[in-house]
Amino acid sequence: MLGLWRRGLSLGAVFGASLLLVACSSPRINRAPVEDRGSNAKPVAVVMDPATPAVKQLPGFENAGKPGYYMVKPGDTLTRIALDNGQPWKDVARWNNLDKPNQIEVGQVLRVVPPVVLAAAAPTSGVVTRPVASSGTSSATISTAPNTVASKPQTEAASAEDQLDWSWPVNGPVLAGFDEVKNKGLDLGGAAGESVLAAADGKVVYVGAGLRGYGNLIILKHNNTYLTAYAHNQALLVKEDQSVRKGQKIAEMGSSDADRVKLHFEVRRQGKPVDPAKFLPIR
């Protein structure tokens, strides 16, 4: 009996030791770390995968939606953008530091008004307050309204610019009248090679065929308000930056990018097409 007890004790000890060895050799269970979200928690830095491509920010993206800026859409050209905003394309190129004006990207944001105009359009409170000494211990303020008299000469100057001495660019009949959607000017008939005349004094700001649907085109700037466009010519007789006088021959009628010989004539007021018949003299 004593031998069996000693043997049993030995077997139990061996068995217990075996269990201890198995427990020590078993793999540990990895537990997820507990994140401390208390007030003393430190911010965790997020590291981007270097393989993830960065989003390209197009020029002028910070000005998207601001007055005086335009976001380039599919099919746009700098000439079209400039015409629609009543500006010479060279000015738009210069304001946006465009080394290659023909390479604008969809989504790019362009300045389309002069920088001085944007600065003048900055919002102001309209009320000026300044401290005024008082007999008591407290201070007082006086509110003053802006000087409205100073803006009067600007209004008069703008009205003076509207007064241009207009004349018909050709003597042919009106083939199609003005329509703000379908026909943004007048289509005037005539013969191939007939003289096309400047409708008012101005400066040539575009000569070329880079505007789809207009063929050989000339654009004149008359002042800060008005542009005129002369399309479908067969010959262009002036150069950009050249000054012209009312009635001066600037082109010859043709049918470039048109179904027949005609002059498409537009008047743009601050970039918006307006009916030329309202400006031209009655004949």
Alpha helix ranges (H) inside the chain: 2-25, 78-84, 89-95, 115-120, 152-162
As assigned by CATH, the class of the 61-118 domain is: alpha beta
Q: Can you give the pLDDT at residue 139?
A: 38
CATH 2.70.70.10 domain residues, the chain? 174-278
**Partners of 176 in the β-ladder:** 187
The three-class DSSP label of residue 61 is helix
Element (H, E) at 187: strand 186-188
Q: Can you give the pLDDT at residue 163?
A: 80
Note whether 263 and 196 are within 8 A (CB). Answer: yes
Q: Can you give the pLDDT at residue 162?
A: 66
Q: Can you give the pLDDT at residue 51?
A: 59
CATH 3.10.350.10 domain residues, the chain? 61-118
Note whether 257 and 233 are within 8 A (CB). Answer: no
Q: Return per-residue pLDDT of the chain as tens, 283 residues.
A: 445 445 544 545 444 444 444 444 544 544 444 444 444 555 555 555 555 555 667 878 888 889 999 999 999 999 999 999 999 999 999 999 998 888 899 999 999 999 876 555 555 444 443 444 444 433 333 333 444 334 344 444 445 556 899 999 999 999 999 998 899 999 999 999 999 999 999 999 999 999 999 999 999 999 999 999 999 999 999 999 999 999 999 999 999 999 999 999 999 999 999 999 999 999 8
pTM for the full model?
0.66
Q: Can you give the pLDDT at residue 131?
A: 42
Q: Is the CATH code 2.40.10.10 the one for domain 174-278?
A: no
Q: Can you give the pLDDT at residue 124?
A: 47
DSSP state of 261: S
The sign of the CA dihedral 224, 69, 85, 103 is: positive
Note whether 38 and 76 are within 8 A (CB). Answer: no
- Tokens describing residue 134: 């008082």
Q: How many whole angstroms separate alpha carbon 51 and alpha carbon 260?
A: 57
Burial (CB < 10 A; 0-12, 13-18, 19+), residue 215, is middle
- Tokens describing residue 41: 């928690």
Element (H, E) at 264: strand 263-269
- Tokens describing residue 161: 């610019």
Tokens 């960065």 locate to 54
